[in-house]
Amino acid sequence: MDNLQAIKQRFGIVGQSPLLDRALDTAIRVANTDLTVLITGESGVGKEVFSKIIHSLSARKHNKFIAINCGAIPEGTINSELFGHEKGAFTGATSDRKGYFETYDGGTIFLDEIGEMPLDTQSYLLRILESGEFIRVGSSNVLRTDVRIIAATNVDLKDRIRKNKFREDLYYRLNTVSIAVPALRDRPEDIFLLFRRFAVDFAERYRTPPLQLDERAVQLLLNHAWPGNIRELKNVAEKVSVMAENRSVTAEKLVEYVPALLERNLPMITSNGQDSGQSFQEREILYKVLFDMKNDLNDLKSLVFELIRNNNLRVPDARSLQALHAPSSSGNALKGRDLYTETDDYRNRLDNLDEEEPQVDLDQEEARPVIIQPSGNSSREPLPGNAAYGSVEVLDENLRLEDHEKTLIQRALRKHKGRRKDAADELGISERTLYRKIKQYDL
Ligand SMILES: Nc1ncnc2c1ncn2[C@@H]1O[C@H](COP(=O)(O)OP(=O)(O)OP(=O)(O)O)[C@@H](O)[C@H]1O
Ligand SMILES: [Mg+2]
């Protein structure tokens, strides 16, 4: 562990997440071998940093290291760049030229975005990995090289294989050891640590005192999905460091500088590509419904637990609990707290940061049935006809989007006494979409 901390310090790695530690631990273990390593992870998670750590801790550390982005080299020149060419091999080849595999002999080559490598180049690379042999473009002389390969990808290589864009044999050869660098959203405990580190770094660079975020501003950072990961966080820290007039930054100021922080980047429902503006609005409504349902459900669960515990009650039968799923008449379903994307609505959302919001992961949570587990301290008789009860009760939720969409539209129409324009406005969809839905659901 001490070793891990020392390495983090040496390479400026910030973070305490077990996922990060595991990835780093693997990197340290394989560094001193010549094994090929495949680093996977989303854009901006630190894949290149990992490749440098591996090189720096290897026996090749005094030899050269180069990072090559396979996606950035045109298909027509990549073979010549990597393997070199002979004079006259193609138009413009006025002299012999060494490629990276010759120049970096004895060192390490980091092949970023390996999934973008053209198929013919993949087969030359496979030959190098298997025998160390390669041929310059336009030559027939077999040359040898001793290079350690570290590859990285932010796409699913198995998917590229299925599409015949990536060689399966190369995949298995590269994947001797793989390191999955975690996305920032999977290591939330590191978000603030990283922000603070970057804020201090930028304060030094711009010679200002470091930024201080208030509690709600920190909450905003934690709620963001960070699709661009550490790179995005670093950019946010830099932008706020430069723009903040006041060193103490409130949540309101933070979203003023970085409006993207209001977007949660929820999971997407893929559309068929038609009418994307409309389907986006429809998605928004569905997300609102799902989040509201989730919150209502959590409130209900707590309420039921409390009631059972405080009053020493018998646990009601599942059928009576299901009655609680009937839509509430409070009409507040549209005050969805999590899904506003319009920046001028951000005050609303910021106000709601004060409330303790459960973090919702739709992938993980929405499809599951509700499980109610009574606490074991109340004296309870088993329910008739439900002998298994006493440990776990499972209720099957109705999560059909269509059903909830229909209910919501009915409620909006009722609330606005059938005035479609007002109902559509409240639902956040166009009148045309509402009209279509009314017909579709036969309302
Ligand atoms: N754990 C970390 N602590 C501090 N800074 C980090 C950490 N990991 C990465 N960084 C910084 O984040 C930025 C992005 O890292 P890097 O370029 O290695 O990501 P990447 O995964 O290669 O991205 P891409 O897929 O876009 O090429 C760099 O500025 C890097 O220094
Ligand atoms: Mg990179």
Choose which residue among 45, 53, 205 to substitute to test ligand 1 binding: the one with the highest number of ligand atoms within 8 A of its C-beta.
Answer: 45
Both 330 and 220 in a single domain?
Answer: no
Considering only residues 209 and 314, tell me which one the structure prediction assigns the higher pLDDT.
Answer: 209
Is the beta carbon of 150 within 6 A of some atom in ligand 1? no
Residue pair 23/182 in contact (Cβ under 8 Å)? The answer is yes
Strand 212-213 vs strand 177-180: parallel, antiparallel, or unpaired? Answer: unpaired
Q: Is 68 found in the same domain as 28? A: yes
User: How many domains are contained in the chain?
Assistant: 3
**Closest by CA position to 426, among listed 288, 329, 274, 328:** 288
CATH number of the domain bearing residue 142: 3.40.50.300
Asked, for residue 242, whether it belongs to a domain, the answer is: yes
> Whole-structure pTM over 0.75, yes or no?
no
155 CB near ligand 1 (under 6 Å) = no
Q: Does residue 49's CB lie within 6 angstroms of at least one atom of ligand 1?
A: yes
At 362-418, the pLDDT tens digits run 333 333 333 333 333 333 333 333 333 333 333 456 667 777 888 888 888 988 888
Q: Are residues 198 and 171 in the same domain?
A: no
Q: Answer yes or no: do 42 and 111 share one domain.
A: yes
CA nearest neighbour of 431 among 441, 440, 421, 417: 421
Residue 170: helix, strand or coil by DSSP? helix
Mind listing the pLDDT tens digit for each residue in 282-322? 555 666 667 677 778 888 888 877 787 777 777 656 555 55
Residue 173 CA, ligand 2 centroid: distance in Å: 21
- 231 in contact with ligand 1, CB cutoff 6 A: yes
pLDDT at 240: 94
* CA distance linking residue 282 with residue 270, whole number of Å: 12
Q: Which of 183, 131, 167, 179 is nearest to 361 (CA)?
A: 183
- Mean pLDDT over each residue of the chain, to the nearest integer: 80
Poorest-pLDDT segment among 71-75, 116-120, 392-396: 392-396
Residue where one domain finishes, among candidates 234, 262, 290: 262
Contact 245, 256 (CB under 8 A): no
Q: Are residues 251 and 163 in the same domain?
A: no
- The set of residues, in sequence order, having a beta carbon less than 8 Å from that of 416 and lying 6+ positions away, is 422, 423, 426
Q: How far apart are CA 158 and CA 163, in angstroms?
A: 9
Q: CA-to-CA distance for 163 and 8, rounded, in angstroms?
A: 38
CA–CA separation, 78 and 55 (whole Å): 23
Does residue 219 sit within a domain? yes
Which has more pLDDT, 121 or 304?
121
| Local structure of 109: helix, strand or coil | strand
Q: Each residue of 226-280: pLDDT tens digit?
A: 999 999 999 999 999 998 888 899 999 999 999 998 876 444 344 444 444 445 5
Instruction: Please indicate, yes or no, whether residues 124 and 223 belong to a single structural domain of this protein.
Output: no
State the residue range of the domain holding 315: 279-336+368-378+390-441
Q: Which residue has the tokens 């129409």?
A: 413
Q: What is the spatial distance between Cα 409 and Cα 333, in angstroms, rounded to a whole number?
A: 11
